[in-house]
Amino acid sequence: MSTAPAISDRAARTASGYAALALALVILAVPAYLLIAVIRGTAGQDGSRVIAVLCILAVALIVRGLYVVQPNQSAVLLLFGAYTGTDGQPGLRWANPLASKRKVSRRLQTQEIPAIKVNDAAGNPIEIGAAVVWHVRDAAKAVLQVDDYAGFVRLQSETALRRIASTHPYDDWEEETAASAGRISLRDGGEQVTDELVQELRQRLERAGIEVVEARITHLAYAPEIAGAMLRRQQASAVVAARRTIVKGAVDLVDEALTGLREKAIEIDPERKAAMISNMLVVLVGDKDATPVINTGTLYS
């Protein structure tokens, strides 16, 4: 099966609309002159009538070919269904009056993707939304390669966002394994995740002549049905991380205390050293103020 060749922008054969408008005014002056001549009797009515009709038809054709192109806008010209070119020069323009002109804005546009529910790489349901900044780079492709390029952008943006969200975990709380080593999370990925989203969108929208300028994640959260459980897990992870830091610091302090005692040549028997270490760890790691106990005896009685 043969495929149609790809259509891309090429310059259309057009002219200045101001020159065409001036020509129309000049032609329109001919019937007015003939009317005056007929009234004065210096011209025949039949011949003047034919010339006037032809002039009016010529003016109508010229006016029909006029169109206005705004800044950052292009006009795609079609003649009997065949693409003849794209005119991107702003101002009053003129082209073949039989050709249809479809105007396409090249201005920056923003496509907002509302929060959608999708499973992340770990299988957890999450809600994610984004905003995509784009513009038409190739007007001919945007008009002739897809039926509705704005709807195409909307659909492909949502599809690309779903794919990116499904290839990354929401966060990296799980223990790193060989399968998950180096995997970027959605919450901490930052620029890398958005860069992946931009590249995915550019690949999908290039066929429609759309250029993606920027894409940003605007909403990211766990789905309501698991949000409470995930919040408790995050709180537990924070408590464990804090305890780990406290224990590490306490061990370092105990080691410094024992080193200081050795440097001052203060000898402590192993049993007293173990008791001192135990007491220091209890004081440093505990979440309540310690109550001192004065021992007036010995450890052996």
Q: Average of pLDDT values for 183-190?
A: 79
Identify each DSSP E strand in the chain by its residue range. Answer: 15-16, 66-69, 73-79, 82-87, 91-94, 100-105, 109-119, 125-136, 210-222
| CA gap 136, 73 in Å, rounded | 9
Can you give the pLDDT at residue 137? 93
| pLDDT (0 to 100) of residue 172 | 66
Considering the chain, what is the average pLDDT of its residues?
A: 80
Fold of the CATH domain 109-175+182-224: Tetrahydropterin Synthase; Chain A (3.30.479)
pLDDT for position 169: 86
Q: List the single range of 14-23, 175-184, 186-195 with lowest mean pLDDT.
A: 175-184
Give me the mean pLDDT over the 97-123 stretch. Answer: 90
What is the radius of gyration, based on Cα positions, of the chain? 39
Q: What percent of the chain has pLDDT over 70?
A: 77
Distance between CA 185 and CA 222 in Å, rounded?
A: 13
| pTM exceeds 0.75 for this model | no
pLDDT tens digit string along 210-266?
Answer: 999 999 988 888 877 665 666 666 666 666 677 777 778 777 877 777 777 777 777
Q: Which residues of the chain does CATH 3.30.479.30 include?
A: 109-175+182-224
Residue type, 83: Y
Is residue 295 over pLDDT 60? no
- 8 Å CB contact between 215 and 201: yes
Instruction: Note the pLDDT of residue 135.
Output: 95
Q: What is the pLDDT of residues 56-109, one digit of tens each?
A: 899 999 999 999 999 999 999 999 989 999 998 999 999 999 999 999 999 999
Contact 77, 96 (CB under 8 A): yes
Over 70: is that where the pLDDT of 126 sits?
A: yes
Q: To 10 degrees, the CA torsion angle through 62, 63, 69, 70?
A: 150
In b/e form, how buried is each residue of 194-205, taking b as 16+ CB within 10 angstroms?
A: bebbbebbbebb
Checking if the pLDDT of 1 tops 50, the result is: no
Give the residue, 209 or 42, on which the prediction is more confident.
209
